[in-house]
Amino acid sequence: MRLPPKILILLLAFLAAAPLSANEAIEKRMAEVVPGLSPDSIRAMEMNGVFEVRYGTDIFYVSEDARFLLQGSLIDLEARENLTEETRRGVRSEIFAGIPDSQLTVYSPDGEVRHTVNVFTDPNCPFCRRQHEEMTAYLDAGVEVRYFMFPVLGRESPAVMNNIWCADSRTDAMDRAKSGLPVAQGDCSTPLEEHLALGRELGINGTPATVTANGQLISGYRPVVEMLQLLEAE
C-alpha cells in the first residue's frame, strides 16, 4: 500500500524532527508550572540528571526528563559547599554592581575602598542606629557603606527616609535621623518603592540587612569587628 503524498510528507517531517533537548523540555514544563515567566537560566548541575532553573533568586532543581522538581538547598558534601547559596550570591552581586551610587546614600572612605557593603536600613531601627554609630570604624577600615531605603519600622519611617533623600546632603540628613534628630521636610521623587521591591525580592524582611560586594547576605546587626572579619574572609 502506498501512502498518500501528504501523509508521507507529514510522517517524514515527524521522523526528522529532533527530540526536545533537556533544556527545552524543562523550559516547556516550567512554563506550565510558572506561567507567564521565563527562567533567567537553566543549567546542568554536577549531580547527574539534575538541572538548576533560576527565576531571579528563586531556584528550583528539575530532573532531566522534566518530571520531578525540588526546591531547597543543594549541598556538595564532598566540597562542603551550599551550591544554591553560591548561585544566589552570584545573582546578588550582579544586581548590586548594577545600581549606581546616585540612587543611594553613600559613605565613602577618604582613601582606598577595600570593601563595599550594601545595607537596607530604617532610620527608626535601633540596631540600624547602632550599626551607624560604627560608621567611622567602617570608613577607617576602607569600607564603603551604601544605604538602601527600607523603612519598615513605624508609620513615619517612609517620610523620614524620603526627607533624607531630598536633603542637600543625604549623609548629613542620615546622621541626624540615626541620632534621633528631626530632618527637614523635602519634596522630590525618590527610589523608595524600588528599594522596597528589591529588598522583598531578595527575601529581606527586617533591618539592618547587609549584602557584600560578593553577594553574601548578612541579616541583622553584627558588631563592626565581626563584619570586618567576614569581609576579609571573602
Task: Name residue 27's beta-bridge partners.
Answer: none
pLDDT at residue 149, as a whole number: 96
Fold of 97-233: Glutaredoxin (3.40.30)
Cis-peptide, bond into residue 208, ω within 30° of zero? yes
Which sequence spans correspond to the domains of the chain?
18-74, 97-233
pLDDT at residue 19, as a whole number: 57
Residue 64 burial (10 A CB sphere; 0-12, 13-18, 19+) = middle
Indicate the DSSP class of residue 20: P
Pick the CATH number of 18-74 from 3.30.565.10, 1.10.240.10, 3.10.450.70, 1.10.3660.10: 3.10.450.70
Q: Which residues fall within 8 angstroms of residue 131, CB to CB, at 6 or more apart?
A: 119, 121, 208, 221, 224
Task: State the average pLDDT over residues 135-158.
Answer: 95
pTM here is 0.84
Task: Name residue 61's beta-bridge partners.
Answer: 52, 70
